[in-house]
Structures are given as C-alpha cells and as structure tokens.
Structure 1
Amino acid sequence: MSDHDAVEKPLTTGEWFVTLLVLGLPLIGLVMYFVWGFGAGNVGRRNFCRAVLLWLAIAFTLGVLTLIGFLIFGGTLAALLSQQAQR
C-alpha cells in the first residue's frame, strides 16, 4: 500500500476511537487538532480537525463579542444608576 492510499483510505473504527480519545484530552487535544488539521495525514481526519478548529474560532469570536457587549452594557447601566442615585 502506498502513502497515497493510506492518506485516502477511511479511518477504521479503532483509529477513530483513538483519535477521539486523544482529541478529548485537555491541551494535548487542542495541539493535536492543529497537528492533524495542518499536517500530512489522513484526509478525513485532517478535514474533521479543520472543521472543529473553524467552529472553535467562531465560538471564541462570538464569546469575545458577547463579553464586550456585556461590558459595554454593564458599564452604561452602572453609569446610569450612579447618575440616578446622585439625584
């Protein structure tokens, strides 16, 4: 079997089991998403890791935007309440 065949063949159930086990480990899993997502290896695993990294980037961005929104809203509300208390 050539390297090209190994890259193109689907992962077995056992290989997926190990993949998901490793990806579930804190910090090591995050590193492995990048290793498998951008390294040479199985195409299915590479595409899966890239898709998960894309979802993580979207979730992180939405989380930061939500935090900024809450900080702005909270600061505005605190300023209004302190103004109201001074009257």
Structure 2
Amino acid sequence: MDYQNYQPMSIGEWLITFIITYIPIVGIVMLFVWAFGDGTHPSKKTWAQATLILFAIAIVLGIIFATVIISMIGSMFGAMGTYS
C-alpha cells in the first residue's frame, strides 16, 4: 500500500472516529475493522491497533488485580474463625 498518497486525517474525521468508538459494542467492532481491514487510513489503522493493544493490557491487568483482591478477601474470611 502506498502511504504517500494519503492526506492527514482532519479534526472532524478524528472526532467522528472517537464518537463511533464511544458507542458500546459498535466501537469495539469498528476498532477491529479499522485495525485489520483494508482501505483504512494508515493513521486510523495504527491508532486502532494501538488502542486494541492497550485494551488487551488493561483486561489482563484487571484480571490480575481482581484475582489478587478476591484472594485477599477470601483469606480474610477464612481467617475470621481463628480469632478469639
């Protein structure tokens, strides 16, 4: 793909892009379309890929955090009967 023929995206195009991503489910689907589809502006394609990577990192960190918190709460409840 020849990226030299692309014009920079305008502010209006970016605003529409962000508004679309704020719509639940539609935004995630569109991120995948923009990240892996053909004919997407290179800037939008790279941005969508980076956003999906950040989402994946956030999900992994959220799962780790939730696991730690749940195990801490479980150990506190398990230790409640040992105090006299």
Q: TM-score, normalised by structure 2?
A: 0.85
Provide the alpha-carbon RMSD of the alignment: 2.0
Q: TM-score, normalised by structure 1?
A: 0.82
> Displacement, 1:59?
0.8
Partner of 2:41: 42
- Counterpart AA for 1:73: M
What stretches of structure 1 of length at least 5 have no aligned partner? none
Give the alignment of 1:21-40 within 5 angstroms: 21-40=19-38
What stretches of structure 2 of length at least 5 have no aligned partner? none
- State, as a whole percentage, how many aligned pairs show the same letter: 27
Cα 1:16–1:74 shift into 2, 3 Å:
same
More helix by share: 1
> Displacement, 1:83?
2.2
CA displacement, residues 26-74 of structure 1 (integer Å, 9 cap, x when unaligned) = 1101110111011121110011011111111111111100110011111
Structure 1 or 2, whichever has the larger Rg, is 1
State the structure with bigger RCO (CA 8 A, min sep 6), 1 or 2: 1
Is structure 2 residue 20 aligned with structure 1 residue 18? no
Is structure 2 residue 79 aligned with structure 1 residue 80? yes
Q: Distance in 2 between matches of 1:12 and 1:38?
A: 21
Q: Give the length in aligned residue pairs.
A: 83
> Displacement, 1:8?
3.3
